[in-house]
Amino acid sequence: MLEVKSVNASYGDFQALWDVSLVVNAGEIVVLIGPNGAGKTTLMRTIVGLHRPSAGNVVLDGHSTARLDGCELVERGVALVPEGRKLFGGMSVLENLEMGAYTARARQARAQTLAWVWQVFPVLAERRRQIASTLSGGMQQMLAIGRALMSLPRLLLLDEPSLGLAPLIVQNIFDVVNLVNRKGVAVLLVEQNARAALEIAQRAYVMERGRIAGQGTGAELLSDPNVRRAYLGYISTGKNLAEGT
């Protein structure tokens, strides 16, 4: 459904993506891991048209998106939950969700989708009149995901949704990602929380310094010694540093 073909992307003189290729098939959960500054966010933004590639192509359902305006991608079923949530801070919870259903396609089904989002995130329903910027971090993240779901995506992109959140809420968010995927939505997930992400992933990519440095099934990467050392907190003796503290 999504093919990223040999994409380069730059900020002025600085090239952030080098010949990046990646595929997400219909119905899959694909995870992208990598250290800070690897270019994960840049790749996500390039996929949704907020950033233009300097070379290469983003292909959706067999058609290049190069000529599409940023606002047209959501019509074609691509939704991004951006890094840092980027909610409409002055608007209420309900208004944020209504804005999620801005496209003609989503607007028709708004009432049903909204009922479903309330069901997925009951705490949001309780606070539907609250102004988004006054919500806690966890609820803001739920709202950001809810807003993306309101557009009825076929491909959901999430950029570090668990960043800075309590473990219980992180678990909740991973559960929701699974739930949405079982409804037939393909997922591309960028995560720092590599273990939890690789566990739910069918396939995964590792990104380092603007390049794809490795790929495989979730299980393959979970057992890959390099990945374990770099992203899962293991040292070669097998002792888990993260769990040891």
Ligand X SMILES: Nc1ncnc2c1ncn2[C@@H]1O[C@H](COP(=O)(O)OP(=O)(O)O)[C@@H](O)[C@H]1O
Binding site for ligand X (CB under 6 A): 11, 14, 16, 34, 36-42
Of 205, 145, 162, the closest CA to residue 4 belongs to: 205
Out of 87, 114, 177, 196, the only residue in the binding site for another protein (CB under 8 A) is 87
**Separation between Cα atoms, residue 188 and residue 117, nearest integer Å:** 20
Interacting residue with another protein among 95, 125, 202, 240 (CB under 8 A): 95
162 interacts with Mg ion by CB under 5 A: no
As given in the structure block, the two tokens for residue 111 are 């009432």
Long-range contacts of 128-132 (CB under 8 A, 24+ apart): 128/92, 128/93, 128/94, 129/92, 129/93, 129/94, 130/92, 130/93, 131/89, 131/90, 131/91, 131/92, 132/87, 132/88, 132/89, 132/90, 132/91, 132/92, 132/93, 132/96
**181 counts as binding Mg ion under rule CB under 5 A:** no
Q: What part of residues 149-168 is at the interface with another protein (CB under 8 A)?
A: 150-151
Please choose which of Mg ion, ligand X, another protein, none residue 34 contacts, taking the beta carbon within 5 to 8 angstroms, the exact cut-off set by kind: ligand X
Give 88 or 234: the residue with its C-beta nearer to another protein.
88
Contacted by 36, from another protein, Mg ion, ligand X, none: CB < 5 to 8 Å by type: ligand X
Burial 89-103 (b: 16+ CB within 10 A, else e): eeebbbebbbebbbb
Q: Which is closer to ligand X, CB of 125 or CB of 213?
A: 213
Say whether residue 130 binds another protein (CB under 8 A): no
Partner interacting with residue 38 (select from ligand X, another protein, Mg ion, none; CB below 5-8 Å by kind): ligand X
Closest among 151, 156, 146 to 121, alpha carbons compared: 146
Q: What are the DSSP E strand ranges found in 98-176?
A: 155-159
Instruction: Say whether residue 46 binds Mg ion (CB under 5 A).
Output: no
DSSP state of 81: E
Among 34, 41, 165, 204, binds Mg ion (CB under 5 A): 41
User: What 3-state class would DSSP assign to 204?
Assistant: strand
Q: How far is CA 22 from CA 41, 59, 151, in A?
A: 14, 10, 24
| Nearer to another protein among residue 56 and residue 100 (C-beta) | 100
Interface map 65-104 toward Mg ion (x if CB under 5 A): ------------------x---------------------
Decide if residue 91 touches another protein (CB under 8 A).
yes
| Residues at the contact surface with another protein, assessed by CB under 8 A | 48-50, 69-72, 74-75, 79-80, 82, 86-91, 95, 98-100, 102-103, 106-107, 133, 147-148, 150-151
